[in-house]
Amino acid sequence: MHFSIQKNILQEAVSKVQKAVTGKSTMPILQGILIQAINGKLILLGSDKDLTIEATVDAEINTEGKIVVDSRLFGDLIRKLPNDNIEISTNENSTLTIKCLKSNATLVHMLADDYPAIPTIQEEKSITLPQNMLKNMIKSTIFATAHDETRPIFTGVLFEVKDNKVNLVAMDGYRVAIRTEGIDTNVELNNVIPGKTLSEVSKILEDSEEVINILFTTNHILFDLGKTKVISRLLEGEFIKYDSIIPKEYLLKTIARKDDLLNSIDRASLIGKEGKTNLVKLDIQEEKMIITSNSQLGMAREEININLQGDDLKIAFNSKYLMDILKIMDSEEVEMEFSTNVNPCIVKNKGKNNCTYLLLPVRMVE
Amino acid sequence: MHFSIQKNILQEAVSKVQKAVTGKSTMPILQGILIQAINGKLILLGSDKDLTIEATVDAEINTEGKIVVDSRLFGDLIRKLPNDNIEISTNENSTLTIKCLKSNATLVHMLADDYPAIPTIQEEKSITLPQNMLKNMIKSTIFATAHDETRPIFTGVLFEVKDNKVNLVAMDGYRVAIRTEGIDTNVELNNVIPGKTLSEVSKILEDSEEVINILFTTNHILFDLGKTKVISRLLEGEFIKYDSIIPKEYLLKTIARKDDLLNSIDRASLIGKEGKTNLVKLDIQEEKMIITSNSQLGMAREEININLQGDDLKIAFNSKYLMDILKIMDSEEVEMEFSTNVNPCIVKNKGKNNCTYLLLPVRMVE
């Protein structure tokens, strides 16, 4: 193998594929990046078996070949080289020589034949979405996935396409996040994507209308950005029927300025956090909501203006969960729908039907 | 106690004094900030006994008084309040009420009488320096202090004034850092200031010609910035006579572009770092320096142009120590003076006599 490439092009490709090299696999070769010089292209690949990222870049290929090189050492070295042409070639003794101006490094490499096979994606179903739309949808739901593995399906996000809509849904037993956008397609989909995969995809997506092509097979998903591809296994098992969990009716509804609500809960939560309860109480009255929290360290009382349709209510929440929701909402005003202080609360952007958040209250001892 | 103050003014003062609340003391009251409302001023004070920071701000004092409040909780709360007028008052049950617009918090406070006495500084000797000069001098030397306590004197920086010069000197057994500036004073000083103190002072100093007044007593130092004061104990014991360690003569001298040298060592060190030796070898020849490093992971060879006065030399260093020095130097070109590969190397800014760095080589096995 022998090729030349500009440093910044190589560095960008390396840092993309490095995101899939997590070190959580027990196979030492997965600490490496697979580098393939073939057909006038350089194809880099990083993987932890569940998630694989591939980047293809143009390079001047003198001799084709493929090797595996330690991800961290190779990545650090490329990053620190001057921004000039880099020449990389293999030697007979399983080493790789990297030359750039007067810099010269020789690294031991691993064999490409030992690298595990990457799942081949035989297209079964596919859809196309603008990158910025998908990025927003991921951000709006991923926080509600579970982080422990007791119910593995909750560590993923449901990717559902039906009735000309794409829905992303995450839940962890205490809350549900649903984000919806319109899509013009006949395809129907119902797959659960690991949260870790979507988190990495989100970092690669750009804030532009450029589209991304998403392909599904029975067990895998491929996010195809042309020069960058992300392949991930899908989670097995059935996602909860979220539709049946979301209450269709409510007894009272409040409209509040999102920042007022978020900042007030944030301050009140300082007291509860110190007391390790994380509890905030909402006292919903006509025209105002009083937010309180107390612990052995003291107490906080916040008051914000609201618009109330319906009767008064006192209800308590885990402040962190409520703030998680409010932090990622993007409208100036939020609507909250309640029934009783033991029924879930629904939070929505005011006047927009693109997201629905459900949060279970905490039972108050009074 | 009862006073009013603008949020941003209070927040700035709190975040200054919080720097001295390290949590390393076993006295619970030192987790708090002492707040004193007196003579139309608000005086805040944080301390870990060794280091004390005091900030004085204007406030509208309705009733004088003093209390101690938890540093983290109070600081977080003030930071999260809206930027408006804050009213703070004590209640009869050892609590403190903080009001800002519609926010209202009540915190349990501690008693000011339980707060340990802060050393009073009876001026014995003092000097005045521009803030930016002192900030630069600290940055240029503090990295060379020792971080372990086996020889406590090495955790400090010598602050020496003599012959119309102020010298800051740090060393840790492997390297010495000396930074010198001219000063017009008759005072003579020879004190060792804890590294931790200088590190915090450096964060408070501004990049301006505004002066800072520094007062010394037998056991303490006071950095007086007017509204902010930093009081620290001095380290006991005699600092090493650094003058006698610095070689006055050399056999060869190189001049190199600092960035070339730093970047080359940085890259070469990647290989040595992986091998846990941290070793880089310099092969100094006429017109060029060849920098190499090797471990079981591979090897690196870097070449830079230099100007050499004297004979060739091969010498090895701990790459981290050499980079620490080069990173904080501010001239385009650096001079290095060598004798043999077991004698210390001296590094200086080219054409400037404001700093001297000494570094011991690592003995090469060949």
Q: Please report which helix (H) or strand (E) contains residue A259, including its range.
A: helix A258-274
pLDDT at B87: 98
Q: Please report which helix (H) or strand (E) contains residue A192, including its range.
A: strand A189-194
> Which tokens in the block code for residue B133?
């000069």
- Compare CB distances from A267 to B81, B267, B270 and report the shortest one's residue: B81
Q: State pLDDT tens for residues A303-350.
A: 999 999 999 999 999 999 999 999 999 899 999 999 999 999 999 999
Task: Give the Cα separation of A199 and A197 in Å (integer).
Answer: 5
- Compare CB distances from B106 to A102, A266, A299 and report the shortest one's residue: A299
pLDDT at A286: 94
Q: What angle do CA B327, B331, B336 make, to 5 degrees?
A: 75
Please, which pLDDT band fits residue A167 given cuts at 50, 70 and 90?
very high
- Compare CB distances from A304 to B102, B104, B108 and report the shortest one's residue: B102
Under DSSP, the state recorded for B48 is -
Task: Give the Cα separation of B232 and B225 in Å (integer).
Answer: 14
pLDDT at A23: 79
> Which tokens in the block code for residue B246?
């610095």
Work out whether the CA dihedral A268, A270, A275, A278 comes out positive or negative.
positive
pLDDT at B275: 58
Type of residue at B273: K
pLDDT at A325: 97
How large is the ipTM?
0.89
- Compare CB distances from B300 to A105, A270, A274 and report the shortest one's residue: A105
Q: How far apart are the CA of A111 and the nearest CA of chain B, in angstroms?
A: 15
Contact between chains at A105 and B298 (C-beta distance less than 8 A): yes
What part of A 303-322 touches B (C-beta under 8 Å)?
303-304
pLDDT at A365: 67
Q: How far apart are the CA of A94 and the nearest CA of chain B, in angstroms?
A: 11
pLDDT at B124: 83
CA distances from A244 to A132, A352, B283 (A): 30, 21, 74
Listed range (A157-166, A206-215, A269-278) with the worst mean pLDDT = A269-278
> Which tokens in the block code for residue A192?
């659960």
Minimum CA–CA partner of B82 in chain A: A263
Q: State pLDDT tens for residues B298-309.
A: 999 999 999 999
Q: What angle do CA A336, A337, A339 make, to 5 degrees?
A: 140
Higher pLDDT, B124 or A32: A32
Task: Give the Cα separation of B125 and B221 in Å (integer).
Answer: 10
- Compare CB distances from B298 to A80, A95, A297 and report the shortest one's residue: A95
- For A53, residues 6+ apart whose C-beta sits below 8 A from its C-beta are A16, A17, A19, A20, A45, A46, A47, A200, A204, A228, A229, A230, A231
Minimum CA–CA partner of B75 in chain A: A270
Task: Work out the average pLDDT over A215-244.
Answer: 95
Task: Give the Cα separation of A335 and A347 in Å (integer).
Answer: 6
Interface test with A, best of B69, B107, B109 (most A CBs within 10 A): B107
State in words which class domain A2-114 has: alpha beta
CATH 3.10.150.10 placement within chain B: 2-114, 125-244, 246-359
Task: Give the Cα separation of A278 and A159 in Å (integer).
Answer: 31
| Contacts with B73 from chain A: Cβ below 8 Å | 270-271, 274, 297-298
Task: Give the Cα separation of A338 and B67 in Å (integer).
Answer: 43
Please, which pLDDT band fits residue A276 given cuts at 50, 70 and 90?
low
* Model confidence at A366: pLDDT above 60: no
Task: Give the Cα separation of B250 and B344 in Å (integer).
Answer: 10
A345 close to A359: Cβ distance less than 8 angstroms:
yes
Contact between chains at B301 and A271 (C-beta distance less than 8 A): no
Minimum CA–CA partner of A303 in chain B: B102
Task: Give the Cα separation of B55 and B71 in Å (integer).
Answer: 14
Listed residue (B56, B35, B225) closest to B129, CA to CA: B225
> Which tokens in the block code for residue B330?
């501010």
Interface test with B, best of A78, A270, A289 (most B CBs within 10 A): A270
Task: Work out the average pLDDT over A224-228.
Answer: 95
B108 close to A305: Cβ distance less than 8 angstroms:
no
Does residue A107 belong to the interface with chain B, where contact is any CB pair within 8 Å?
A: yes
> Which tokens in the block code for residue B199?
């590190």
Does residue B266 belong to the interface with chain A, where contact is any CB pair within 8 Å?
A: yes
Please, which pLDDT band fits residue A273 given cuts at 50, 70 and 90?
confident
Q: Please report which helix (H) or strand (E) contains residue A125, including its range.
A: strand A125-130
Please, which pLDDT band fits residue A364 given cuts at 50, 70 and 90?
confident
Does domain A246-359 bear CATH number 3.10.150.10?
A: yes
> Which tokens in the block code for residue A284?
């919903």
Contact between chains at A103 and B266 (C-beta distance less than 8 A): no
Task: Work out the average pLDDT over A271-298.
Answer: 88
- Residue B232 phi, psi dihedral angles, 5° rounding: -140, 150
Q: How far apart are the CA of A197 and the nearest CA of chain B, in angstroms?
A: 29
Contact between chains at A103 and B274 (C-beta distance less than 8 A): no
| Contacts with B110 from chain A: Cβ below 8 Å | none
Contact between chains at B77 and A297 (C-beta distance less than 8 A): no
Task: Give the Cα separation of B349 and B355 in Å (integer).
Answer: 7
* Model confidence at A49: pLDDT above 70: yes
Does residue A77 belong to the interface with chain B, where contact is any CB pair within 8 Å?
A: yes
Contact between chains at A267 and B105 (C-beta distance less than 8 A): yes
- Compare CB distances from A270 to B73, B82, B304 and report the shortest one's residue: B73
pLDDT at B253: 97
Task: Give the Cα separation of A203 and A12 in Å (integer).
Answer: 13
Task: Give the Cα separation of B231 and B233 in Å (integer).
Answer: 7
Task: Give the Cα separation of B75 and B174 in Å (integer).
Answer: 40
Task: Give the Cα separation of A37 and B249 in Å (integer).
Answer: 54
Interface test with A, best of B101, B106, B265, B280 (most A CBs within 10 A): B106
pLDDT at B335: 97
CA distances from B233 to A302, A346, B47, B120 (A): 43, 57, 12, 11
Strand partners, A284: A289, A313
Q: How far apart are the first and last CA of chain B?
A: 73
pLDDT at A198: 97
Interface test with B, best of A31, A91, A103, A303 (most B CBs within 10 A): A103
B89 close to B96: Cβ distance less than 8 angstroms:
yes
What residues in chain B have per-residue pLDDT under 50? Answer: none
- For A41, residues 6+ apart whose C-beta sits below 8 A from its C-beta are A56, A57, A58, A59, A61
CATH number of B125-244: 3.10.150.10
